[in-house]
A and B are shown apart, each in its own frame.
Chain A
Amino acid sequence: MIYEGTAVSDGAATGRVFQYEPYQPEIRHDTITKAQTKSCLEKYKDVLIQAEEELKRLIESSELEEEEKKIFQAHIDIVQDEEMRREIEEEITDNLLSPEWAIQEVYERYIKIISKAKDALIRERAADLKDVCQRLIRLWNGGHENPLSSLAGDVIVVARDLLPSDTAAMKTEYVKAIVTEVGGYTSHMAILARNYGIPAVLGVADILKNTENGQKIAVDAKDGKVITNLTVDQEKQYQVMREEYLRKISDMRQYLPLVPETLDKTRIDVCLNIGSADKSELELEQYTDGVGLFRTEFLYMSKKALPEEEEQFQVYKKVVTMYGERPVIIRTLDIGGDKKLDYLELPKEDNPFLGLRALRLCFEMKPIFKTQLRALLRAAVYGNLMIMFPMVGSIGDIRFAKQIVEEVKEELKQENIPCRTDVKAGIMIEIPSIALMADIAASEVDFASIGTNDLCQYLMAVDRLNPSVAKYYQSFHPAMFRLIRQIVEAFKKQKKPVSVCGEMGGNPQAAALLAGLGVRKFSMNASSLASVKKMISQMDICKAERMARTVLELSTAVQVEEYIKSELPD
């Protein structure tokens, strides 16, 4: 059988299915008999030991960043807490609650108290208690640790959806491919898969029902297919496909160290898009001209509570220090739309992509925005940090955002906290209204970056996550190139830099065309660096300009794609 979905991260794989289902605790409110108390207390002690061992293993695993290790160390302190232990044991012996009920009862009691603390930093600790409580209850019920963190052999992960919290500790080296029932090209999972170079096909309906654990399947992440009931021939075919793909990747690596310059000596900046800022993402840092897009929402999404100022500061500082003189463009929080935070309840909206998201949300939740700006301005002391605002729709948005930055600077100054006051501020251009106002916007900001994913979605009026309108999502539509030309010209006139950081920036053919329109800086995922550098080093800017002029006169996206294919064969 062949099941179809959206190919979001190139490659192919064959392997055995590993169905992942997130753990859902189910707490039974049972009482026990007096005679059972002794055995319950012993089993409870055993659960504490297991919890401690799990946490120690987590801390020792090299996957975690220092910050995360500290959090799990604090969890060990909570597990060992003598007072909690005494209270839980009392609930068991005196009130005859089953241990899982007793654990929940006592933890809830303190979660309530801590959630009421005056200090926000202390309130956030309630999330740690919740996490430990869940761990203990899971262990009591004999549940295993997140199975993705203890994979021991090659698998193809099949799931309904994979959230950042599911994948945070995933042993990526064993994951040969990912298949999910929901999600699309620009969902969180897709970005993660591309970062790690894991082939992925998302949006495959009912794939959990149609596969079973241990079953051998093939994933073709070029054409977006999942193949079950493999014949011997098919299995061979997909293994060959995988090997070819891996060979292509290793061949491509030779282009990584190239200085991105066209044959006629036009230097193009090639930058990196990052999210979590972990080791694997920054591995190719030396081959890039900077960070063109740091998607900070990943710092918020992989956690159980809002990240504190200090924590954000440390991450930003780490990246800007690493990059030295090279610019690091950090985008302020972009949630809403398809990106949700479990711990921050946002009102349900009928049209989340047209709703209260990104900068609009930050304007509504000013304290969250200010915390991030404080961390950014402080980290800017250590390198060439630039702040970028997402979802800017008007000149008013720009002015208001800049005004808040000024307020934060003033506050830091009052508190005598070192920060940089000359940090450059720029905008994402992804809403057509600001694209059309680019000439005026250019005089108000220091730089801009074109987010082609959202720009296409808003320009074409296509929900980019809705599979039934996927064919209308045409990023190669001539309208896109016409609009981008207008933006680039407007910024050129003001002598302000403009880059492209959406998926188009990481597509070698699109990058060639955009260079023809005058774009001199592209930012992309690590996996696209080599192919874009190869394209740049083998093209003439004159030819790119000629191609761009032709494309602007074409009528349809299909024509554009055919034209590119004829001019720039793979």
Chain B
Amino acid sequence: MYAKQVVIENETGLHARPASDFISLASKFKSKIFIRNMDEEDSCRANAKSIVMLIAQGLGKGVTAEISAEGEDEKEAVEALTELIKSKFGED
């Protein structure tokens, strides 16, 4: 199990195209990957390979998300996905 927190900084947040980019990258890894909205008290971790779960997490701009993974490539997966969020999905 490997986990890391990251703040969503791009304008549109994690939905629409950025969400598509996110899940297509997540799906490339073998590990189980989860994402959780840390700003919501009662949030549960959600399958980060599911676009609907991702959208349902309500990860708008400014929200802190925790990405965690379990499996053979857990570290690479978490690093790659946090990097993608930090890159602001090429929005500005």
Contacts and interface: CB of A to CB of B under 8 A. Distances in A.
B61 interface: yes
Contacts of B52: 78, 81, 83-84, 110, 129
A122 B15 contact: yes
A74 B20 contact: yes
Interface stretch (A7-15, A113-121, A546-554): A113-121
Interface in A54-97: 70, 73-74, 77-78, 81-84
B11 A119 contact: no
Contacts of B55: 110, 114, 122, 125
A121 B15 CA distance: 8
A382 to B, nearest CB: 16
A78 B51 CA distance: 6
A82 B20 contact: no
A81 B22 CA distance: 13
Contacts of A118: 58, 60
Contact of A119 (B17, B19, B23, B60): B60
A110 B57 CA distance: 10
B47 A121 contact: no
A310 interface: yes
A308 B11 CA distance: 12
A82 B49 contact: yes
Contacts of B50: 81-84
Which of A74, A113, A122 has the most B CB atoms < 10 Å from its CB?
A122
Contact of B16 (A113, A114, A125, A129): A125
A82 B32 CA distance: 12
Contact of B56 (A73, A114, A121): A114
B20 A122 contact: no
A81 B51 contact: yes
Interface string A109-135: 010011001110110010001000000
Nearest to A83: B50
Contact of B60 (A78, A83, A122): A122
Contacts of A74: 16-17, 19-20, 51
B12 interface: yes
Nearest to B61: A119
Contacts of B20: 73-74, 77
Nearest to B23: A77
Interface in A302-324: 308, 310
A82 B23 CA distance: 11
A538 B17 CA distance: 53
Contacts of B19: 74, 77
B17 A121 contact: no
A99 B21 CA distance: 29
A70 B51 contact: no
Contacts of B23: 77
Given A121-B13, A121-B15, A122-B15, A82 B47 contact: yes
A117 B20 CA distance: 18
A121 B61 CA distance: 10
A124 B11 CA distance: 15
Interface string B45-81: 0110111110110111100000000000000000000
A73 B56 CA distance: 18
Interface string B23-61: 110000000000000000000001101111101101111
Given A77-B20, A113-B56, A122 B49 contact: no
A82 B59 CA distance: 20
Contacts of B61: 119
Contacts of A129: 52
A77 B51 contact: yes
Interface string A330-369: 0000000000000000000000000000000000000000
A118 B23 CA distance: 22
Contact of B17 (A70, A78, A113): A70
B15 A125 contact: yes
A84 B51 CA distance: 9
A113 to B, nearest CB: 5
A436 B46 CA distance: 62
Interface of B: 11-13, 15-17, 19-20, 23-24, 46-47, 49-53, 55-56, 58-61
Given A113-B56, A117-B60, A122-B59, 8 more contacts: A74-B19, A77-B20, A82-B47, A83-B47, A83-B52, A121-B13, A122-B60, A125-B55
23 contacts: A70-B17, A73-B20, A74-B17, A74-B20, A77-B19, A77-B23, A81-B52, A82-B47, A83-B47, A83-B49, A117-B58, A117-B60, A118-B58, A119-B13, A119-B58, A119-B60, A121-B13, A121-B16, A122-B13, A122-B15, A129-B52, A308-B12, A310-B11
